[in-house]
Structure 1
Amino acid sequence: MAEPLFLKATMHDKIWGGTRLREEYGYDIPTETTGEYWAISAHPHGVSTVENGSFAGFGLDRLYQEHPELFGYPNSTVFPLLTKILDANDWLSVQVHPDDAYARKHEGELGKTECWYILAAERGAEIIYGHTAKSRQELTELIEAGNWDQLLTRVPVKAGDFFYVPSGTMHAIGKGIMVLETQQSSDTTYRVYDFDRKDAEGKLRPLHFQQSIDVMTIGKPQNSHPDRLAADDLTVTFLVANDFFTVYKWEIDGTADMRRLAPYYLLSVIDGKGNIVVDGQDYQLQKGQHFILPYTVDSWKISGQLELIVSHIS
């Protein structure tokens, strides 16, 4: 039977986390410092579970392995993408992620190219997006000297902004920001600077200067340029495409009939409510839900007033 796969997430306590995942999306967060909601994930550090239909109770990792027909019979053995929501009640560390080659050699997993859709941002909120160093030598000298004000590039953000963060990009999400992140399925992060803060046990978190210098890109980050197309009751904003994923924003105000053009889709309802009809079956949609439309779903109809972030493999 063709059916969407609605997913139950895992959540992660973070030194910089807060309570907005509960306040904004109604999630039953486990702590008052919950920073990450791994909405669609088969990564071993947090596997999503199917909540409905024929595969209820399956972890996404098991489903990908045992039922390749749902994903277009992929060549990969690892589910390649991960969707999460982050609640930055404080600054995340200044960090960088490796590419596939470095991550496979040193960490035994995929690299991490990612992108951010800004769901909410307090007045004056900023991110760190890139650095000023013109060479690896200058980068090394500024890091070793702790000259962060000179090195780091700060960028103001607001709700609705989008940032493409390929591997090698120095970055940090700032205080008062909520982000929907689409990324490769990886959990490798190299911290460059952590604002000299201590964890609950009074310890500084580890930093990774050498790895960071090894993988850092020299030069200003090149953000994507979203392209918006409206037709009848559907507006599609093309956000980014690379070797790993393609990401869109869908806005529905009425009814949209759609057909599958990729092996499968990852969908996150970021606002509104409505319904999706698949194979004659009606499923309710509301803000905060995350689901997959598998390869077995050829077409669907979405109705209501809804905003979704949608991704698929490229």
Structure 2
Amino acid sequence: MIQPIFLTPVFQERIWGGTRLKDIFNYDIPSSTTGECWAISAHPNGQSTVTNGKYKGSTLCELWNDHRELFGRMEGDRFPLLTKVLDANDNLSVQVHPDDQYAKECENGEIGKTECWYIIDCEDDAEIILGHNARSKEELVSMIKHNKWNELLTRKKIKPGDFFYVPSGSIHALCNGTLVLETQQSSDTTYRVYDYDRRDHNGNLRELHLEKAIEVTTTPHRIRKVDPIIHKINTSTITTFVEEQYFTVSKWHVYSRLEMIQDKPFMSVSLIDGKGKLTVNHDSYLLNKGQHFILPNNMGAFVLEGNMQMIVSHP
């Protein structure tokens, strides 16, 4: 009998982290500077662990390696997606990620990092940095060299429910007062461009990676507009934000009852608000805000009941 796969997250402390992962989701975080919840992850830097069923205690990486049938027998040497929840209590560094080809050649076979953000919550005046104003590599280098950050960086006001697609090569940063669910390629390669002259716990300026960052930055910046597609099923709503090379990401807002078929290689599900119940093959599972799980391949029909909001992604 195929069951959903519930997962325990891994938490990462960051200089810019806070306590909202505990305050909002009641997670047992390691400190008051906890910045990242790696919720659905098989990356070696933080692996989720199965909490139910016959695979209980296994890591997601072990499932990918030993039970590829759960994921539609997808090809590849790694689970392809990584789901995080980020608490930006302070500004993140301004950064950029490489594409697959550059990462393979320059980062020991790592993959690139295209990502996207769903704004769960934010302060009234919150913003993000997404994109830059340099018209050429030469202008990009000059503006960085002369610290013209206000002229170079593009800032956008944000509100809860906003969604942003951030392909590799995009200069970007979350800013303070923001809680985000991030769906990304399963990569941990980041090049810092600017970090507000912050120092680490030892008093040292945090490392920048300007040479690589300049090499991989798309110039001029390409705006990738998001045009959500909204599909109503009875009283529930499925909003598909993006369907692209690496992932499809949707928001499911369940009002009362939603019947679905799992017809993808797998689905990664993060419950960001509400509570309810998942029924699969006559077995029921209680769901609460902050849970993360995978609906495996060939699971077939399932029913969601309650009042819940969830972010769902699949390859």
Pick the TM interval, shorter chain: over 0.9
SS of corresponding position for 2:42: coil
> Residue by residue, what CA displacement relative to the aligned partner does 1:75-122 show, whole Å, maximum 9, x if unpaired?
112100000000000000000000000011111211000000000110
Q: Which residue of 2 aligns with 1:198?
A: 199
SS at match of 1:196: coil
Q: Corresponding residue for 1:269?
A: 271
Tell me the equivalent position of 1:155. Answer: 156
1:100 aligns with 2:103: no
Residue of structure 2 in register with 1:87 after alignment? 87
Task: Report how many residues are paired.
Answer: 313
Q: Which residue of 2 aligns with 1:18?
A: 18
Amino acid at match of 1:298: G
SS in 1 for 2:145: helix
Matched, 1:282 2:300: no
What amino acid maps onto 2:81 in structure 1? L
Rounded to whole Å, the distance in 2 between the matches of 1:283 and 1:190 is 41
Q: 1:177-226: per-residue Cα shift (whole Å, max 9, x none)?
A: 00000000000000000000111111111101110110001224213211
Is the partner of 1:195 in helix, strand or coil?
Answer: coil
- 1:136: which partner in 2? 137
**Poorly superposed stretches of 4+, deviation over 3 Å:** none
Maintained 8 Å contact 1:229/1:237: yes
Quote the residue 1:55 is aligned against: 55
Matched letter for residue 255 of structure 1: R
CA distance in 2, matches of 1:230, 1:23: 32
**Bigger CA drift: 42-51 or 258-267?**
258-267
Distance 2:270 2:4 in 1: 12
Following the alignment from structure 2 to structure 1, what is the Cα–Cα distance between the partners of residues 203 and 117?
31
Residue correspondence of structure 1 range 21-40 to structure 2 within 5 A = 21-40=21-40
Cα separation, 1, equivalents of 2:202 and 2:302: 50
CA RMSD of aligned residues (A): 0.7
Tell me if the contact between 2:37 and 2:86 (Cα under 8 Å) persists in the aligned partners: yes
Out of 233, 257, 260, the residue aligned to residue 259 of structure 2 is 257
SS at match of 2:13: strand
Which residue in the other structure is 1:208 paired with?
209
**Aligned partners of 1:131 and 1:220 also within 8 Å:** no
Say which SS state the counterpart of residue 11 (structure 2) adopts.
Answer: strand
Q: List per-residue Cα deviations over 1:3-60 (Å, max 9, x = no partner).
A: 0000001100000000000000000000110000000000000000000011000000
SS of 1:62's equivalent in the other structure is helix
TM-score (norm 1): 0.98
1:176 lines up with 2:185 in the alignment: no
Question: 2:124 aligned with 1:123, yes or no?
Answer: yes
Q: Does structure 2 retain, via aligned residues, the 8 Å contact 1:132–1:220?
A: no
Q: Which runs of 5+ in 1 are unaligned?
A: none
SS at match of 2:187: coil
- Measure how far apart 1:305 and its partner are: 0.3
CA contact (8 A) 2:98 2:113 kept: yes
Whole-Å separation in 1 of the counterparts to 2:245 and 2:229: 19
Q: CA deviation at 1:234?
A: 1.9
Residue matched to 1:244: 246
Task: State how far apart, in whole Å, the 2-side matches of 1:239 and 1:265 are.
Answer: 15
Match of 2:114 in 1: 113
Alignment partners' CA distance in 2, 1:227 and 1:21: 29
Q: Distance in 1 between matches of 2:246 and 2:288?
A: 28
Preserved contact between residue 128 and residue 157 of structure 2 (Cα < 8 Å) = yes
Q: In structure 2, the residue corresponding to 1:21 is in which secondary structure?
A: helix
In structure 2, the residue matched to 1:292 is 294
Conservation of the 8 A alpha-carbon contact between 2:263 and 2:298? no
Question: Is the contact between residue 133 and residue 153 of structure 2 (CA under 8 Å) also seen in structure 1?
Answer: yes
* Cα distance, 1:127 vs structure 2: 0.5
TM superposition shift of 1:161: 0.4
